[in-house]
Amino acid sequence: MLKALLCVIRRDLLLAFRRRADVLTTLFFFIIVASLFPLGVGPEQALLRTMAPGILWVAALLASMLALGRLFALDYADGTLEQMVLSSEPLTVIVMGKVIAHWLVSGFPLVLLAPVLAVQFDLPAASVGVLFVGLLLGTPVLSLVGAIGAALTLGVRGGGVLVSLLVLPLYIPVLIFGAGAVGAEASGVGATGHLLLLGGSLAASAALTPWATAAALRIALE
């Protein structure tokens, strides 16, 4: 199963790098959304520091959701997904491989860019570190939960809008814990509790969402 997992990850990464425009669209969207707020709000440092966690997390959430449509759609269109479902390997392993590849392409670059973008909000170094760790724990949850919505709306007309309606309510706890961790660190309370909740959300999502996504894919292909 480990070999199958690595093969799926490698395949999806190779396909993603052949479509660099899709990857760059997500990154540029994140950069533009996060960079426009300081220009619109103004140069007041206290206000920017207060708004920074929410702005960066919302930008990362929207950018991650923007890439959900590519998770299964191309494999569904060319029939590859049907072959994956009929494969002797467990579908949950294949789903996990695709989600990991999706996160490496659309989630991990956001984690790396966020500390750089945080500089324009004048966040202190400790808050930037908490932001980095929070995104590192939270963005995989966005990909895992989003995979369920992408599978449920596979082949449905207007699936992009339906994905947003399905997954946005489930993203709210991650957004609250992630942005709250930075705010708690800035106020001196400490971000440990928020980060532990994000870690727990990641563990629960990694254990449960592959099964739900696999079931949704089977329903979509029937």
**Distance in angstroms (rounded) separating the CA atoms of residues 107 and 102:** 7
Coil, strand or helix at 71: coil
What is the per-residue DSSP string for 145-167?
HHHHHHHHTTT-TTHHHHHHHHH
Whole-number pLDDT of residue 110: 92
> What was the pLDDT predicted at 158?
62
pLDDT tens per residue, the chain (222 residues)?
788 888 989 988 888 888 878 788 888 999 998 888 888 877 787 888 888 888 999 999 988 888 887 788 888 878 888 888 888 888 899 999 999 999 999 889 999 999 998 888 888 888 899 999 999 999 999 999 999 988 888 877 766 677 878 888 899 999 999 999 988 888 888 889 999 999 999 999 999 999 999 998 888 877
Cα–Cα distance between 55 and 199 in angstroms, integer? 21
In 5-107 the beta strands, taken as DSSP E runs, fall at none
User: Which of 44, 34, 66 has its CA nearest to residue 160?
Assistant: 66
Yes or no: say if 182 and 134 are a contact pair by the CB < 8 Å rule.
Answer: yes
The CA distance from 59 to 61, in Å, is 5
Q: Phi first, then psi: what are they for 124, rounded to 5°? A: -65, 160
How confident is the model at residue 174, as a pLDDT? 93
CB-based burial of residue 206 (10 Å sphere; 0-12 exposed, 13-18 middle, 19+ buried)?
middle
* Distance of alpha carbon 118 from alpha carbon 124, whole angstroms: 9
Structure tokens at 75: 């494999």
Asked if residue 98 lies in contact with residue 12, where contact means CB atoms within 8 angstroms, the answer is yes
CA distances from 128 to 77, 109, 135 (A): 41, 16, 11
Q: Distance between CA 146 and CA 114 in Å, rounded?
A: 21
Residue with tokens 């966690």: 53
pLDDT score for 190? 82
**Whole-number pLDDT of residue 40:** 80
